[in-house]
Amino acid sequence: MERAKISVIQLFAMMFLFELGSAIVVSYGIGAKKDAWLAILLAMCGGIILFFIYYFLFRQYPNLPLTGYARKIFGKYVGWIIGLLYVIFFLYEAARGLRDFGDLLLASTMPNTPLFVLNILFVLAMCYVLYLGIEVLGRTTEVFIVTLLFFGVTGNLFVYFSGNVELHNLQPFLENGWKPILTTAFPLLTFFPFGEMIVFTMLLPYLNRPDLAKKVWLSAVISSGLILSYTTSLDIAVLGIEAVERSTFPLFSTIGKVNLFDFIQRLDAVVVYTFLITMLFKISIWFYCAVIGIVDLFKLKNHQQIVLPMGVILLFLSMEIASNFTEHIEEGLDIIMYPLHLPFMVIIPLLMLLIALIRNGFKKNGRSKSNET
């Protein structure tokens, strides 16, 4: 791993933008109908539970990334294989994010541009930033989160001033009971995006204030969860539940209804900018963690020598994971959740935590007995 440090603010900015990702523009949590906002809040609570699993692992091995303490816990060979599986998982998630990015731009603003061209330009820009290191990525995140918050607040004010918000679209509360809320929140919304925070177990050793990792992580999860819940509520209040269900990217339609004095209108670019920034950092973090995982497992000198080759792999993987956008979405919602997300986000981390606690408990007992003698 490179010898670099990131600040508390930089880590929070990366976590916050990572959590928003594509979830802020898609019909997130719409399986719960008008109560999608509540399903997101419940999923956020599930994400907090997952956080404590990841955080306690970090406390046991504060100087090691996930690929490092996997070898400590499971042994040299089994741990190495598990670490490699996590690297593949991170790379696959980066490819899915890249495909999301390309397909959204095709559908919204550049319908005649080849998907491959959009993706290759994105990969080149990302590889350049990551070649410079995690500190550059952290400083870049600090700058962009400020502009993103500015556009977010401004866009929301325009929506309210346009008089498009109809709160009765959110009523009645619990129209379909608790079942659709719970089945939407667990496990789908819990895994995406809150369970994806496991990727930051690769970055926590870079934090210059490890004692503040808990506060930063919890703050990012709660703030992003509240923003996602609010954004989904706003989409439903403006468009109505039927329109949100039909729309692939309801935030585009919501902001598209803004019309002030027949002058301030067609603000789709604000949503495109938001999506571009959140996805740039989300994909970059997935990809960077895959890169440093390879560096750690294969004992390479630095990450720079493999950034571009892995970027090429990422590019072609993003093109091959699905033949079209519909298949891509179906794969993410129905196919990979239990065979991929459940073991990598819940089962393996929980198993590692139990083994680490048991092993460290035996060590402490052994030390106390030796001190007594």
Task: Report which residue type is found at 371.
Answer: N
Task: For residue 20, give the nearest of 276, 326, 320, 313 by alpha carbon.
Answer: 276
Architecture (CATH level 2) of domain 8-355: Orthogonal Bundle (1.10)
Residue 331 vs residues 100, 290, 322, 340: alpha-carbon distances, Å: 12, 21, 8, 11
The encoded tokens of residue 183 equal 């089945």
DSSP annotation of 247 reads -
Task: For residue 232, give the nearest of 43, 46, 29, 44 by alpha carbon.
Answer: 29
To 5 degrees, how large is the angle CA 157–CA 264–CA 246?
A: 70
Per-residue pLDDT of the chain (373 residues; tens, 9 = 90+): 667 889 999 999 999 999 999 899 888 899 999 999 999 999 999 999 999 999 999 999 999 999 999 999 999 999 999 999 999 999 999 999 999 899 888 877 788 889 999 999 999 999 999 999 999 999 999 999 999 999 999 999 999 998 889 999 998 899 889 999 999 999 889 999 999 999 999 999 999 999 999 999 999 999 999 999 999 999 999 999 999 998 888 998 899 888 887 777 878 888 888 889 999 999 999 999 999 999 999 999 889 999 999 999 999 999 998 888 778 878 877 788 888 999 999 999 999 999 998 887 766 666 555 555 5
pLDDT for 323 equals 82
Question: Where does the chain have alpha helices with state H?
Answer: 8-20, 36-60, 66-74, 76-108, 115-132, 134-161, 179-184, 190-191, 213-239, 241-246, 250-256, 268-298, 304-320, 325-330, 342, 348-372
Task: Report which residue type is found at 224.
Answer: S
Task: Report which residue type is found at 205.
Answer: P
Domain boundaries, the chain: 8-355
Going by C-beta distance under 8 Å and a sequence separation of 6 or more, which residues neighbour residue 362? none
At residue 112, the 3 state secondary structure works out as coil
Residue 188 has, within 13 A of its CA and on its CB side, a CA count of 22
| 71-105: b (≥16 Cβ within 10 Å) or e | bbbbeeeebbebbbebbebbbbbbbbbbbbbbbbb
pTM: 0.94
- CA dist., res. 337 & res. 5, Å (int): 33
pLDDT for 363 equals 67
Which region, left, alpha or beta, applies to residue 208 given φ > 0 means left and ψ of -120 to 50 means alpha?
Answer: alpha
- CA dist., res. 201 & res. 165, Å (int): 40
Residue 368 vs residues 60, 95, 298, 372: alpha-carbon distances, Å: 19, 49, 37, 6
- Return the residue matching tokens 């990015």: 101
Cβ–Cβ under 8 Å, residues 221 and 14: no
Task: For residue 162, give the nearest of 86, 255, 60, 36 by alpha carbon.
Answer: 255
The encoded tokens of residue 83 equal 């670490």
111's enclosing H/E stretch is none
Residue 231 vs residues 168, 217, 256, 326: alpha-carbon distances, Å: 16, 21, 15, 23
Could you tell me how far CA 254 lies from the centroid of its own chain? 23
